[in-house]
Amino acid sequence: MANSDQPGGIINDVASVTSIVKAAMSGTRDPRLKEILDALVEHGHAFLQQVRLTDAEFEQGLAFVRAVGQACNERHNEVVLLADVLGFSTLVALLNNADESGRTPGALLGPFYRGGSPEYENGRCIACEGSPGAALFVHARVLDTSGRPVQDATVDVWQASPVGLYENQDASQPEHNLRGRFRTGADGMFTFRSVRPAGYPVPTDGPVGAMLAAQQRHPYRPAHLHFAIFAEGHATLVSQVFADDSEHLDSDVVFGVNRRLVGTFEHHEAGTGPHGDHREAYYTLDFDFILAEGTPTYPTPPIQ
C-alpha cells in the first residue's frame, strides 16, 4: 500500500480511531496547540463513544453549531453565550483565578462595559435626575491582601437600570447613566449613590435560547453591579457584586455568581438617609474588594 510522509494509519475499528487521529495531528508545530487539540480529540471522542449519537442526532448537533456561529454579528456573540450557559466560561475564569491569596474573585467583564465614563467625586449619584427605583448607597473599600487600604485606586462602576437595561441598550437613559469612575481615598474608600439594578435575561432569540427553553431554564441573570479596579502595584480586578436578595441568585443562567461576590443589600425604611436627606425606603451596600499584588492589566476592550 502507498504511504505518505504524514503519520496516520487505516482505521479498522472504533478502538483505533482516536490514536490514528492523534497520529495525524502529531506534526503540529506549536506544542501548546498540539496539547489543546489532542485533549479536544480525546474528550470529544470519549463524549461520542459515551452517548453513541445516531446519524440524525449527529447531524442535528452539527447544525446547532452552525446556527450558533451564524447567529453572531457585530453586536452579539452567540458562541460566547453558549459557552456561558454551559458553565464553560465560569470554569475557565475560576481555573485562572484560583489562588489562596484571599483576593476578591474576578467575574466576567460582560458585553456592556464602556470606556470613558465620567469621573466623579466620592458620594456622587451616578443615576440621572429623577431616575425611578429604590435608592442605593454604596460604601466600598479597596484593600490589599494584608488588609491595608489601597489609596488612589481608579474604580469603574457600571450597572443596569431598575428595569434591567444598561444605558447603551436603552434610548430612554442619558449617555453614561449608571456609570462612573471614582478614586479611593487614604482609607481605600470609594462611595456613590445610585438606584438598585434589576436582573435581566440574556438574548433568547437564537439557538441558545431554544436550548434553554428545551432545558426549561429561565434566561435571567440576578441583579448585580460591575466594578473594574485599577491600582499601581496590584493586579487589575474585574468583578461583579450580586444582590443577596435578588431573584435568580442561585440560578444565574451564565453561572456568574460566586458566594464571595454576594453583597448584603441592606433595606432601610423611609427616613433620614446616610447623606442626611429625607427619602423613601432605601438600600445600603458595604463591600470590601481585596486586590492581589501584581502589575495592572486592562480588560478587553481596552479602556478608551
Q: How far is the CB of 212 from a copy of itself (least distance, A)?
A: 9
Residues 202 to 231 in contact with a copy of itself, rule: CB under 8 A:
211, 214-218, 222
Q: How far is the CB of 183 from a copy of itself (least distance, A)?
A: 27
Q: How far is the CB of 79 from a copy of itself (least distance, A)?
A: 5
68: three-class secondary structure by DSSP:
helix
Show the cell assigned to 6.
Answer: 504524514
Question: In terms of DSSP bridges, do strands 282-291 and 135-144 run parallel, antiparallel, or are they unpaired?
Answer: parallel
Q: Which of 13, 295, 272 is nearest to 137 (CA)?
A: 272
Q: How far is the CB of 196 from a copy of itself (least distance, A)?
A: 14
Residues 284 to 303 in contact with a copy of itself, rule: CB under 8 A:
300
Residues 17 to 56 in contact with a copy of itself, rule: CB under 8 A:
17-18, 20-21, 24-25, 27-30, 32-37, 39-41, 43-55
Q: Which residues of 18-50 are buried (b: 16+ CB within 10 A; e: fewer)?
A: beebbeebeeeeeeeeeeebbeebeeeeeeeee
Q: Does 12 bind a copy of itself (CB under 8 A)?
A: yes
How far apart are the C-alpha atoms of 141 and 187, rounded to whole Å? 8
Residue 154: CA atoms inside 13 Å, Cβ hemisphere, count? 16
Of 65 and 163, nearer to a copy of itself (C-beta) is 65
How far apart are the C-alpha atoms of 56 and 11, rounded to whole Å? 23
How far apart are the C-alpha atoms of 233 and 244, rounded to whole Å? 31
Q: How far is the CB of 300 from a copy of itself (least distance, A)?
A: 8
By rule CB under 8 A, what count of residues binds a copy of itself? 98
Q: Does 170 bind a copy of itself (CB under 8 A)?
A: no
Q: How far is the CB of 77 from a copy of itself (least distance, A)?
A: 7
DSSP H/E element including 286 = strand 282-291
Q: Does 247 bind a copy of itself (CB under 8 A)?
A: yes
Q: Which of 122, 111, 224, 118 is nearest to 174 (CA)?
A: 118
Among 127, 162, 258, 283, binds a copy of itself (CB under 8 A): 258
Q: Does 101 bind a copy of itself (CB under 8 A)?
A: no
